[in-house]
Amino acid sequence: MDAAEITILEEIELDNPIFIEALPGLGHVGKLAADHMIDEFGATKFAEIYSPSFPPQVLVKDEGVIENMLNELYYLRDVGEDNLDLIILVGNTQALSPEAQYLVCKDILAYVKQFDIDRIYTLGGMATAQPIENPKVFGAATHEEDVELLREAGIEIRSNDGGIVGASGLFLGLAVRQGIHGSCLMGETPGYFIDAESAEAILNKLSHLLNFEINVDKLEERAEETRQMIAKAQQMEQDLINKANAGNADDLRYIG
């Protein structure tokens, strides 16, 4: 299976950057937080990632312009008091199958590793039974010393209560095998709506860990844009299902 096709938009040089993954997941918490960082800090897109394992569709934006299903890499230089360089992975989808998830994450990690990353943060949501007024941030990490850093930042440590599914977990698993330290920040969320409050909670903890300040006033505005994007994607998926159900059994594998 072909995994990932990485299109380089700009050749860049960075100083020991930190890699941040925030692909769509529960409540789109991580994606919302990272998209807000990109907007607030004026990050620059330097690569696009395509894969045949992404959903077989495109999104239709304003005025009938389409958007591919893709992942994107952005960079920032000299962020916060420690003048950190960052690489941020966002996108409008993850791979569809477990096998493709491994291949796509492996290819992306191999690409960003050339920039001498030695630490990653993955951002996502953690499901709750109901909405939370003041969502907590839970964490897990690849090494005991990283867990201690999370604890010192006031992050609740997950312990023996299940796994971390999708790219947020896979990047940690692949990284630790290569000697890269990693941590996952998970904001409490019901998971069935775009959760700006949980995204804000994650941003507050990440800014503490990486020693930067960020204005979150426009986060709800970003959440509404994400809601509209997700609604379009869900409608397209439903249209595909309806078309398949309306056809003959022999035609169920056709997507047109």
- Kindly report, residue by residue over 55-111, the tens digit of the pLDDT: 999 999 888 999 999 999 999 999 999 999 999 999 999 999 999 999 999 999 999
Residues 6+ apart with CB under 8 A from 231: none
Main-chain dihedrals φ then ψ at residue 106, nearest 5 degrees: -60, -45
Q: Please calculate the CA angle 13-185-92 and round it to the nearest 5 degrees.
A: 65
pLDDT, position 217: 83
Confidence of residue 254 (pLDDT cuts 50, 70, 90): very low
Integer Rg of the chain from CA: 18
pTM of the model: 0.85
Task: Work out the mean pLDDT of the chain and round it to a whole number.
Answer: 90
Task: Report whether pLDDT(248) > 90.
Answer: no
Domains contained in the chain, CATH given = 15-251 (3.40.50.10900)
Main-chain dihedrals φ then ψ at residue 200, nearest 5 degrees: -65, -40
- Distance, in Å, from the CA atom of 76 to the CA atom of 210, rounded to the nearest integer, reads 13
What dihedral angle (degrees, nearest 10) is formed by the CA atoms of 74, 94, 172, 37? 30
Confidence of residue 230 (pLDDT cuts 50, 70, 90): low
Of 220 and 82, more confident: 82
Q: What is the mean pLDDT of residues 133-140?
A: 93
Give bridge partners of residue 72 from the DSSP assignment.
Answer: 48, 90
Detail the DSSP E strand segments found in the chain. 5-8, 18-21, 44-50, 58-60, 66-68, 71-79, 84-91, 119-127, 137-141, 156-157, 181-189
pLDDT, position 231: 73
Of 104 and 219, more confident: 104
108 HSE (CA, 13 A, CB side): 35
What dihedral angle (degrees, nearest 10) is formed by the CA atoms of 122, 144, 160, 91? 10
- Distance, in Å, from the CA atom of 241 to the CA atom of 235, rounded to the nearest integer, reads 10
What distances in angstroms separate CA 225 from CA 166, 204, 232, 244, one per listed residue? 23, 21, 11, 29
pLDDT, position 238: 79
pLDDT, position 250: 52
